[in-house]
Amino acid sequence: MLIIAHYGEIALKGKNRGFFEKKLSETLSQYFRVTKLSGRFLLETNNPDYQDILRRVYGLTSYSEVTEVDTKNVVAETAKLVQEKDFHSFRISASRSDKDFFLTSPELNQQIGSLVKGKVDLNNADLTCYLEVVNNRCFVYFHKQEGIGGLPLGVSGEGLVLLSGGIDSPVAAHRAMKRGLKVNFIHFHSGSSASVRKAEDVIKHLTLKARLYIVPFNDIQQKILVSVKPDMRVLLYRRFMIGIARKIGNVLITGDNLGQVASQTLKNLDALGWDILRPLLCWDKQEIVDEAKKIGTYNISIRPHQDCCSRFLPEHPATASSVKEVDLELSKLNYTEMIDQALASSNFIDFKL
């Protein structure tokens, strides 16, 4: 099977272009035989489920299964491929990267079109035949599959996503990856295997390759429950999650969303630190839900699970906390030892499609 994969934004990025293409090709070559053509990749595979891979490749704007035709007989061979299809009206859409090819795009359109029996419709044809002339080779296809877009994974560095069982953090992960961050994940659980399963399913759905760190959070919660002011509990849970995550990743990403719940007021987010990426900070909840449905994580996220943070919630959680207040509560606990213990009892799973 031959596939042509197009990339978009990369083509615009001047000096970075080579680097971006290299990252994209590194990802693709784990699954395909890759040939670099001018401004696109030619992929070869025998895997009938190749779309499962390509739909997760950040940076691709579209991909199409193609038939290569003989350059010298491009007009007749393309016309024959069109004629084999079922259609009422058709159009030929030729594009030429080789400016010295013996026919121009309009000439290709006209000459192929004149050999095909059927009605030409340039605006509303029910069959469009695409012909790409590139590197002195000719490729024909009839269907363009939209890609996920964005930047290739890894061009912006690496991050660690704090992945809960909720709707927001998978969307945050997707947004971070779309801007070229290669991410791993960390999930805190209070003994519920349902939430871990959800985290695994989100990762399998969104990524080709990632690591999930799984950290039991029961002990920490029990200690917080005993020693910390009730209205500060949720903030302390978060503070510990961030503290543990910092031991594993340099750049942290959360699904925090301003004002969504009591723990996500500006002051509370301030108390937890601004050196955390929060891609969804200023989105509307409905926008997050729509995006979750679009990327396919919504149905995983709404599966019931025991969320470790909604346990032992105080009636009136603090909404206007400060670093000082958080630190005061932290000083009642053996922070370093608790973090070390959590890390010691954690494990990880590597996923690769």
User: Which residues are near ligand ATP by CB under 6 A?
Assistant: 162-164, 166-169, 186-188, 241, 254-256, 260-261, 308-309
Euclidean distance between CA atoms 19 and 319, whole angstroms: 44
**Min dist. Cβ of residue 77 to ligand ATP (A):** 53
Closest CA to 163 of 117, 132, 207: 207
When the beta carbons of 108 and 167 are compared against ligand ATP, the nearer one is 167
User: In this structure, is the dihedral angle defined by the CA atoms of residues 315, 319, 325 and 329, taken in order, positive or negative?
Assistant: positive
The answer for residues whose C-beta is within 8 angstroms of residue 112's C-beta and 6 or more apart is 74, 75, 78, 79, 82, 92, 94, 129, 131
Q: Which is nearer to ligand ATP, 106 or 191 (CB)?
A: 191
Q: Which residue lies nearer to ligand ATP by CB, 6 or 238?
A: 238
**Residues 95, 109: Cα–Cα separation, whole Å:** 9
Give the shortest CB-308-to-ligand ATP separation in angstroms: 5
* Binding partner of 254, given Mg ion, ligand ATP, none, CB within 5-8 angstroms per partner class: ligand ATP
- Of 113 and 165, nearer to Mg ion (C-beta) is 165
For the bound state, the minimum distance from the C-beta of residue 219 to ligand ATP, rounded and expressed in Å, comes to 14
DSSP per residue over 102-160, as a string? Answer: SS-HHHHHHHHHHHS-SEE-TTT-SEEEEEEEETTEEEEES--EE---SB-TTTTEEEE
Minimum CB distance to ligand ATP, residue 38 (Å): 41
61 interface partner picked from Mg ion, ligand ATP, none, CB below 5 to 8 A per type: none
74 touches, from Mg ion, ligand ATP, none (C-beta below 5 to 8 Å by class): none
In 3D space, the residue among 145, 108, 138 whose CA is nearest the CA of residue 42 turns out to be 138
Place of tokens 């603090």: 318
* Interaction partner, residue 308 (Mg ion, ligand ATP, none; CB < 5-8 Å by kind): ligand ATP
Residue ranges binding Mg ion (CB under 5 A): 168, 260
Q: Which is nearer to ligand ATP, 79 or 186 (CB)?
A: 186
Least distance from C-beta 163 to ligand ATP, angstroms? 5
Task: Pick the closer one to Mg ion by CB: 168 or 291.
Answer: 168
C-beta separation of 109 from 93 below 8 A:
yes
